[in-house]
Structure formats: structure tokens, C-alpha cells
A and B are shown apart, each in its own frame.
Chain A
């Protein structure tokens, strides 16, 4: 089955700096890679996703890149703000297939210091 590794487990940056979180996956059949943000005591919420037919997707200050050959994908947050502080999870699955389950990485706790 799919296995998703996520690094780093914790990340501390100064406000205004960029943050990068990286994930690798094992199943070459996976073609859907969402990122979820979980604030303390809240539910995970989707912030951006990418499918394997594109290499990069951007939404304002966040972007995700995908390297299918190397089986890794990354989340980039630019001009970080204190409200970006949260735990971020990457995930992988087969989109549109009979499998609907997402396999999550262990999470990255991002702290943005003012």
C-alpha cells in the first residue's frame, strides 16, 4: 500500500520568511496530492491540492510542486504570517479510482515568529 513520508516534523521561521515542507510517496499509481492545515484543536482543512498531470500549482502565498519521477511533492509558503502557524499534513491517493482513501504524512508543525 501507499506510504507517505513528511519532513521536517517541526519548522520555525521568522515572519516574512518562506517555509518549505517536503513529502515523498511510495505508490507510483497515486495521482492526487492534497495538503491540509490543522490549527490547534480544529479539524484538518484542505488548503491546496495537485494532480499528477501538472507539476506546480499556486494559490496566492502557497504553492505546491510535484516531481512524479522522484515521487516527491512540496508545499511552499511565502511571506509567512503568524496565522500560518499550524500543523500541515500532506497526503496521497488515487483520484477518481475505486480507492477514495487518503494516506497522510505524519505532519509538520510550523511556527511563525513575529
Chain B
């Protein structure tokens, strides 16, 4: 398996522009998570999905952020309009179904991240 695939790896945009980050989870994983990492706030959970349904979006900072998962193999995180304080590394991660988590197996696998810079 190629692991969790994120795109783009780097994005530089200007304030006010729309940003869309993309994620393809590991095949067979039914949980998908979006995290944001900054020096000040560390790794923050933004939202997570189970079977394509958003379960908890309490970490989404404000209405400018939205996330969708139209099918089991694709999710997007959109920021509109973007602001300089949104600059961060955004990680997508996925987990296998609860009943298929082998003891000692990795519960959460991260993608390589998307580094966003908003000027």
C-alpha cells in the first residue's frame, strides 16, 4: 500500500484565496482524520470521519474551514478565504476499522503533510 497520500505537499497563496487540500486514505481504513500542526499549538485534531460521515468537527477553527469525504478513498479540507494565521502543516491520517486493529498494529497512519503558507 502506498500509505496515506496528500496533495499538494506545499502551497503558497495570498490572503483571501481559497485553498483545497486533498487526502487519499489507506485502502480499507474507515477512519480519516485531519490534523493541523503549528509551533504554537502543536498537533490539533480538526475533524474526523468514520465511513465517510463527519463524526466530530469541534476542532475546526471557524466557518472558513470545511471538510468533505465524498467517498471512502478521498477527502478534502477547504479554507475559504485563507488568512496568514492559517499557515501550518496539515496532516491527514487514517485508521483501520475497530474490529481489524491487530494488537500492536499502528492505529493511526499519517500522510506526509501539506505545508500551507498564506502571505
Known contacts A101-B48, A105-B42, A107-B42; is-contact A96 B110 (Cβ 8 Å): no
B55 to chain A, nearest CB (A): 8
Which of A49, A98, A100, A107 interacts with B95 by CB under 8 Å?
A100
Tell me which of B16-24, B66-74, B75-83, B100-108 binds A.
B100-108
**Is the beta-carbon distance between A34 and B108 smaller than 8 angstroms?**
yes
B residues within 8 Å of A by Cβ? 31, 33, 41-43, 45, 48, 50, 55-56, 58, 91, 95, 98, 101, 104, 106-108, 110-113
* With A98-B55, A100-B48, A107-B43 already in contact, 12 other A-B pairs whose C-beta atoms are closer than 8 Å: A43-B110, A43-B113, A45-B110, A93-B107, A95-B101, A98-B98, A99-B55, A100-B98, A100-B107, A101-B33, A102-B45, A106-B42
A residues within 8 Å of B by Cβ? 1, 32, 34, 42-46, 49, 89, 93, 95-107
